Amino acid sequence: MSKLLKRAKAWRDQDPDEQTRAELADLIQRTKDGDEDAEAELADRFDGRLEFGTAGLRGELGPGSARMNRVLVSQAAAGLAAYLREKAGEDASPTVVIGYDGRRNSRVFAEDSAELFAGAGLHAVLLPRLLPTPVLAFAVRHLDAAAGVMVTASHNPPNDNGYKVYLGGEDAGSQIVSPADAEIAAHILRVAESGPVGDLPRSTEYETAPESLVEAYVAATAAVGPAPASAAEMAWTYTAMHGVGWETTARVLKAAGYPAPTTVLAQIQPDGAFPTVSFPNPEEPGAMDLAFATARDSGAEFVIANDPDADRLAVAIPDAAAEAGYRRLTGNQVGLLLGWRAARLSVTAGLSASLACSIVSSPGLQVIAERYGLDFHATLTGFKWISRAPGLVFGFEEALGYLVNPDTVRDKDGISATVALLQIAAEARGRGLTLADVLAAFEEEFGFFASDQVAIRVEDLTVIGRIMAALRADRPSALGDVAVSGIDDLLEPEGDGEVPPADVLRMRLEDGSRVIVRPSGTEPKLKAYLDVRGDSAEDAASRLSALREAVEQLLASAQQ
């Protein structure tokens, strides 16, 4: 215990945040008084360090090396600054731009970072106010910055925050990948071991980005899908889910010529407490209930939701069979519609282009690419990989992420995807059709694809490792009544070679179905992704239902 108390006291003494310092002091005192619960909590706070990886940092707010706080963020900023100086040369002053959303401590973390970057001799540019993640990703390219940092935890629970890093130059504004993540992490660790964060050089001589930068993002995004005349009377509903999307989205809609939506007033302003949702993710059950209620009251033709940092897009359409009167489309359905649009535009423009999606997203995108004579790339999960596909004009992943304008934003962007989706809906409306009709037309053209997901949320992350090990040790020969024709283990060097090694199992079934099992990269979950293709919507639904039951049984057995 003495070692734990020594670490905790050293952290407390360097913590510039009054609240977390007091919280840690209380835990220290209670531990010294023999409170076993306090000791266990203190041990959890210092159980290693919150790991810096290709997703940057993300975790629960609170004091300690295993939480998100001002000490950890200061160490990360100083480590990133050292990395950028090393790459640019000691005499250079590379530019780094910092953005932040509406979560608790986001602005504080961003300002700390700006001061530390400036203190390290970098040209630091802080975005003028809380803004969506896509604006930060845009700013990295627009300012020709060496790097960008976005302080956000996206759609994570309310008490989380994160630190997402983008690189300019050869990386063209994409999120970091290996080996940059490990190199930055090594610099961060050296900073952490060198002394308290109060000794790090700081400066308030950083720049605040002008409003013209936001205006440039608005103009570029509005150009993605200007409104046709048929958009004029379009009635739709929008929710920002207590995030930062609405102000920027409203400006883009006006510039592109789309009618203003009916907004979900209780969710339209940024609020880091997320008071109307238990989990601020449009994919979660109940998260869009208020949007559906607003849509019913206003007679909306469809519903659009952004997640809290507006890098994701969810879409729902009227459905009499749904209890809420609206049915949220899957990320795959939206991705295929946007991919179809991108393919048509590319062929019309005579572009030699490619479509890309993560390996867990619908195989339908490859069918689109082949139909239109475009290249196709399957990547590991995450836009850090999708954005690097050569010749990319569109990329998506099933978790509601869409990259529709890679020339300006090399990341998923829920606002530009909104504009593209609105253009699809408006053009269909001009022909007397709905989004449901567009989906039906897609299925007639390309086939009936259906997807689902089975997820296991855990408290103990070692459970996920045990399940993956059990699946590798006892590989299934069949799922339900369908034989497994092959299993690719992407950890093995003899994998298919399409993607770097990853903790992923891909099972191919004799009827053409597919199951992919992997640990989540951002949540304590094991996920299984199911994809089928049927002769009709009913056939696809039947196959998917049977496959889901078989996969649930497989995962249950692997846990025993």
DSSP sequence for 374-442 = -EEEEE-SSHHHHTTSTTEEEEEETTTEEE--TTT-SS--HHHHHHHHHHHHHHHHHTT--HHHHHHHH
Q: Which of 359, 355, 342, 444 is nearest to 398 (CA)?
A: 359
Whole-angstrom distance, CA of residue 275 vs CA of residue 59? 20
**Average pLDDT of the residues in 147-176:** 96
Same domain, 385 and 463: no
Same domain, 190 and 300: no
Task: Identify whether 416 is part of a domain.
Answer: yes
Whole-angstrom distance, CA of residue 321 vs CA of residue 241? 25
Contacts 24+ apart (CB under 8 A), 485-493: 485/509, 485/510
pLDDT confidence of residue 497: 56
The helix, strand and coil proportions of the chain, stated in percent and rounded to the nearest 5, come to 40, 20, 40
Same domain, 203 and 147: yes
The answer to whether 490 touches 504, Cβ cutoff 8 Å, is yes
Same domain, 175 and 275: no
The domain in which residue 18 lies consists of 1-47
Same domain, 392 and 305: yes
The answer on pLDDT for 495 being more than 50 is no
Same domain, 536 and 420: no
Same domain, 353 and 456: no
Same domain, 391 and 460: no
Task: Identify whether 215 is part of a domain.
Answer: no
Average pLDDT in the chain = 95
Task: Identify whether 219 is part of a domain.
Answer: no
End residue of a domain, out of 440, 473, 490: 440
Q: Which of 74, 106, 113, 154 is catalytic?
A: 154
Q: What is the pLDDT of residues 372-414, one digit of tens each?
A: 999 999 999 899 999 999 999 999 999 999 999 999 999 999 9
Task: Identify whether 374 is part of a domain.
Answer: yes
Q: What are phi and psi of 69, to 5 degrees?
A: -160, 175
The answer on pLDDT for 475 being more than 90 is yes
Task: Identify whether 216 is part of a domain.
Answer: no
End residue of a domain, out of 209, 244, 273: 209
The answer on pLDDT for 494 being more than 80 is no
Task: Identify whether 9 is part of a domain.
Answer: yes
> What pTM was estimated for this model as a whole?
0.94
Task: Identify whether 433 is part of a domain.
Answer: yes
DSSP 61: B
Burial class (CB in 10 A: 0-12, 13-18, 19+), 121: middle
Same domain, 547 and 503: yes
Task: Identify whether 217 is part of a domain.
Answer: no
What is the number of structural domains in the chain?
4
Same domain, 291 and 435: yes
Per the listing, tokens 């999606």 go with 357
The answer to whether 189 touches 386, Cβ cutoff 8 Å, is no
Q: What is the pLDDT of residues 176-230, one digit of tens each?
A: 999 999 999 999 999 999 999 999 999 999 999 999 999 999 999 999 999 999 9
Q: What is the dihedral of CA 210, 418, 172, 365, to 10 degrees?
A: 180
Same domain, 61 and 101: yes
Whole-angstrom distance, CA of residue 165 vs CA of residue 403? 18
pLDDT confidence of residue 501: 86
Q: Look up 194 and say whether it is catalytic.
A: no
The answer on pLDDT for 276 being more than 70 is yes
Helix (H, G, I), strand (E, B) or coil at 25: helix
Interstrand relation of 237-239 and 262-263 (parallel, antiparallel or unpaired) = parallel
The answer to whether 173 touches 166, Cβ cutoff 8 Å, is yes
User: Which CATH number belongs to the domain containing residue 329 in this structure?
Assistant: 3.40.120.10
Interstrand relation of 326-328 and 174-175 (parallel, antiparallel or unpaired) = unpaired
Whole-angstrom distance, CA of residue 292 vs CA of residue 280? 15
Q: What is the dihedral of CA 168, 169, 171, 173, to 10 degrees?
A: 30
Same domain, 135 and 251: no
End residue of a domain, out of 209, 238, 260: 209
